[in-house]
Every structure is written in C-alpha cells, then in structure tokens.
Homo-oligomer: A and B are copies of this chain.
Amino acid sequence: MSDTLNHSLVLASRPDGSPTPANFRMEETPIPLPREGEVLLRVRYLSLDPYMRGRMSAARSYAAPVEVGAVMEGGTVAEVVVSRNPDYREGDMVLSHSGWQEYALSDGADLRKLDPDEAPVTTSLGVLGMPGFTAYSGLLTIGQPKPGETVVVAAASGAVGSVVGQIARIKGARAVGIAGGADKCAFVREELGFDAAIDHRAPDFAERLAEACPNGVDVYFENVGGKVWDGVFPLLNTFARIPVCGLIAQYNAVGVPEGPDRLPGLMRQVLSKSLLIRGFIQREFVDQRPAFYLDMAGWIREGRIRYREDIVEGGLAAVPEAFIGLLEGRNFGKLVVKIS
C-alpha cells in the first residue's frame, strides 16, 4: 500500500426529490489499522442499487436511514490487504458491505470469500448476489409461476428484472419484460429470451402491454411502481400474485400525489380477483440462499440464465453520477462501479 489515505463518500444532506451530486461529499481520512481479529479491505467494486435511495431519506423503512455525515452503505467486492484474522489471507477476494469508500475494516463475520476462478467476482454483486437472490426468492416464494402463466417484470434488462424473467421461463411461464428504449427491449428479447419486451416510453405503452399479455397477467413482479403499475393492474387475473421488492419510479416523489384516490379501487380489485400483494426484502428468505447459489450457478453454466453488467470506471468520484443515472434508468445491466 502506497496510499495512506482513505476516501469515502458521505451523505452530505438528504435529497429533496431526485438526488444531486451536492447530496454527497468526498472525505479523506487515514486508512484505518486492523486490530487483532480484523482485516483491512481495499474495495475493488461497489454495487449501486435502487434501495440506496431509501437509505438517503429520513423516513422509516425496513432499514435505518444512513445518518447525514455517515458513509453511504453498499455491497462491495474487496481484497484483503492486511489480515490479522486467521480465516483470511492477504489477496483473498471477499464480498463485503463496505459502502461508498476505498478502504474498510471487518472482523470477518460479514464477509464471504469469493473464488475468481468460479465466476467473475462482480457477479457476487449481481446475478449471484443480492439482486439475483431478490429475483429468485421473491418470484419463487411469492410469485410461484406455473407453466403457461404470464409473468410481467419491469426494469427487465436490470439486475433483478432480467433474472425474474429468465427464471419464469425456466419454470415454464411466459415472460414479458418492460424496459426503457429499443436497445434494452431488443436485449431483453434476443439475449435474455423473454417472450416479449415492451418499451415503457412508447406513447401507447398500456395497449402494447395488453397485446403482449393476451391471457392476462398471473404474476407481476413489482420493482418500479408508477405508470408500469397502471398498465399492469387492469390485466391482472384472478389469483394473481404481486411480489413487491421496489418502487423506483416513486422513490424521488415529493409531496402528496393528486387525486383521484385509487386506494379504494385497488382494494376492490384485491377482493374481487383474490389478489395477493406482498412486500418483501430478500434477507427474509435467507434459508433459501444455499439453494439459490446451487440453482443459479447451474443455470448460468447451462446458459439458461444470462446477465449483463454495466461496469463504470472512474473510481469513487464517479459514484454519485452513476447512482443518479441508475434512478433514471441510464444504466444497461447490473450497475457496478470499479473503485480501484
């Protein structure tokens, strides 16, 4: 290590609506020294995920917000550069939750060793990591797609959506993806093998979606909300299941939305169609992780699950802009920033 300084991005202020670069501040601190039992990690890759927008708000959610002045959270691939823990050696690559910074300490309890020969280490942040497991656990446990059913998912070229649709097909269901722009739609159809892909920017989006779902929708994997929900909702079949893992389209909303009030209409449909709506966070299904690693590694090997990563160069300085772009759908595939 030639450097003696750690750089980190702290939350400078809570975003009011869409985040801006001014909401983050780069800080320099001495690289910390590991105590007995600890390792010093150098972050190689940082995962950027929509859930991070929630951590920037003070509102109560499933996890505590990041405090103003604290380092932003995030999943990372890191290298052990100093080890005072007998379980880890210098040079080990690990999955950690080191956040938006270059160096971090760990006592090893929250680390998972990665084997770069088995799979590219970045997949531990995507298809073989939290997003892939979100897709797997939510779709199979809550969505429960059956052969011949129709599964709809938005952000279909992204880390979660791409896996949802491909697993749906593995289970014999029809997969209809929604994505932004012709390039992403072509990728979803041609590379990922979805049965249909609809561009949510099309002025006749709702009509096209309805055409792509001639037998209605049995599973809607909700990760965006907003107008995609509006398009899917009338198409839901009796006994449709709606796992809810994200609402990216409304994360930046400010103020109270105008009427009419659609809550009574939603509940009426829940009742008349026996709908299931279920929010979830993947860690609730932690028992399924071993099965996930086994299934997913097998499916990737067999070519039944494909994935695309959008790896941004530029180190920590590039993170705020990349994250803002993620919320606007500018990434194409699982968004990862190469930190060092």
Contact = CB atoms under 8 A, between A and B. Distances in A.
Contact of A62 (B247, B274, B281): B274
A85 to B, nearest CB: 34
Nearest to A274: B279
A277 B276 contact: yes
Nearest to A270: B279
A253 interface: yes
A274 B281 contact: yes
A267 B225 CA distance: 8
A247 B260 contact: no
A278 interface: yes
Contact of A275 (B245, B266, B275, B278): B278
Nearest to A229: B267
Interface in A202-225: 222, 225
Nearest to A280: B274
A246 B274 CA distance: 11
Nearest to A256: B260
Interface string A292-304: 0000000000000
B261 A261 contact: yes
A273 B59 CA distance: 12
B257 A271 contact: no
A264 interface: yes
Given A270-B279, A273-B62, A274-B284, A260 B262 contact: no
Interface in A51-80: 54, 59-62
A130 to B, nearest CB: 16
A258 B259 contact: yes
Contacts of A13: none
A153 to B, nearest CB: 16
A280 B245 CA distance: 23
B274 A264 contact: no
A272 B62 contact: yes
Contacts of A275: 277-279
Contacts of A276: 276-279
Contacts of A246: 271
A250 interface: yes
A263 interface: yes
A35 interface: no
Given A257-B264, A264-B253, A272 B60 contact: yes
A287 to B, nearest CB: 15
A270 B277 contact: yes
Contacts of A61: 271-272
Contact of A271 (B247, B261, B284): B247
24 contacts: A59-B272, A60-B272, A61-B271, A61-B272, A62-B238, A62-B271, A62-B272, A62-B273, A246-B271, A247-B264, A247-B267, A247-B271, A253-B264, A257-B260, A257-B261, A257-B263, A258-B261, A259-B261, A262-B263, A266-B266, A276-B278, A277-B277, A277-B278, A278-B278
Given A245-B271, A257-B263, A259-B261, 19 more contacts: A62-B238, A62-B271, A222-B267, A225-B267, A244-B270, A246-B271, A250-B268, A258-B260, A261-B262, A262-B262, A270-B277, A270-B278, A274-B280, A274-B284, A275-B277, A275-B278, A276-B276, A276-B277, A276-B279
